[in-house]
Homo-oligomer: A and B are copies of this chain.
Amino acid sequence: MTKKIGRQSLRFENVFIKSWASAAGPTEKKGTFGSYYDFTIHDALFGENSFEAAEKRMFTECVKTLLKKASLSINKVDCLIGGDLLNQIVTSAYGARDLDLPFLGIYGACSTMAEAMLLSSMQIDGGFAENILCGTSSHFGSAERQFRFPLELGTPKPPTAQNTVTGTGVLLLSDRRLTQIKEETRIRITSGTIGKPVDPGIKDANNMGAAMAPAAASTIAAHLRELQKKPEDYDIILTGDLGTHGSDLLHILMEKLGFDIRKQHKDCGAMVFAGLPSHYSGGSGCGCCASSLASYFLSEMQKEKFRRILFVATGALLSPTVVQQGETIPGIAHAVSIELAEKHSENDISFQIESF
């Protein structure tokens, strides 16, 4: 089977999601996915002295939670592929240091989780790893200070603004060829599409949905065209954090590209704080779609509520420095197709056990 399809898309045969874990903050606990997180932190500092230290602890605890759920020793993990929003991706890098893990650091703003899944899937399917941790996180306090204003200033926001999600999502991707059927989940990563930066000319750090929607449209369209799929081939086309305004824009842009995705489309950012006061256009941050995927969506997929999700993490490549110099903010989106395989028959299992 050809593994590369068109310019941007890839097919995977041997990759499955063995386990997942998520953590979130106190506001997220009251939100849509509140009961699905593995744990939530009771305040923004999580017993530490800074938001950055709290984010790192949340990330590291979430990795440990996953390893416990998967009954996997950390020595069996080949590497961690991850990143976060903080300058020099300190959450992930210091997490890898504290966990003593080989580490490949990535930066894709809020597209990081899908980028990690793409790279891990290529590494596993290519035969270079058995188990890879994909992880990312964000924190309201650390991100707002870095990209916009310190929380202490109480700066008001316009309706297009989004609130960074305090959350972590971690996945364990594994090689089916090296796993006994009885230890496999049925959740497979079957294809993916590498995104291009697309720049609609936005300069406003409080309008990230508009900065990301064209990149999401570009990647979803490339995915559907290159893999010859239709929107209805997916139960859900799940974008990262376009928010309500960005989601509306995406629908219009997709229509111009010849696809109506309104029925399939859901956005983690628009969902995560739904119904809560002052959620503006929704949630954002690397941890938004990562914690949503690694809580509600994968758990419900395992229960067969959904069978096919196109996970499209969306990132705004916002740099306060170059935006102050007059540059605009490009978006980028990477897509990963997650599918529930048919149930293994008893025969498959006994056959594999015998052959061991």
Contacts and interface: CB of A to CB of B under 8 A. Distances in A.
Interface of A: 3-4, 7-8, 10, 49-50, 52-53, 75, 78-79, 83, 86-90, 93-94, 96-97, 100-109, 115, 118-119, 122-123, 125-130, 146, 194-199, 317-322, 325, 327, 330, 332
Contacts of A122: 122-123, 126, 128
B330 A102 contact: no
Nearest to A111: B105
B109 A107 contact: no
Nearest to A102: B194
Contacts of A53: 322, 325
24 contacts: A7-B102, A8-B79, A8-B102, A52-B322, A52-B325, A87-B319, A88-B107, A88-B319, A93-B330, A94-B197, A94-B317, A96-B196, A97-B198, A97-B199, A97-B330, A101-B196, A103-B195, A103-B196, A104-B115, A104-B194, A105-B115, A105-B332, A126-B127, A126-B128
Contacts of A327: 90, 94
Contact of A83 (B50, B107, B325): B107
A321 B94 CA distance: 13
Nearest to A87: B87
A106 B93 CA distance: 12
B196 A102 contact: yes
A195 to B, nearest CB: 7
B88 A318 contact: yes
Contacts of A90: 317, 319, 321-322, 327
Given A3-B126, A4-B128, A86-B319, 11 more contacts: A4-B127, A4-B130, A52-B321, A87-B321, A88-B107, A88-B319, A97-B330, A104-B119, A105-B106, A106-B107, A126-B127
A128 B3 contact: yes
A88 B105 contact: no
B88 A104 contact: no
Contacts of A125: 126, 128
A119 B129 CA distance: 12
A126 B122 CA distance: 7
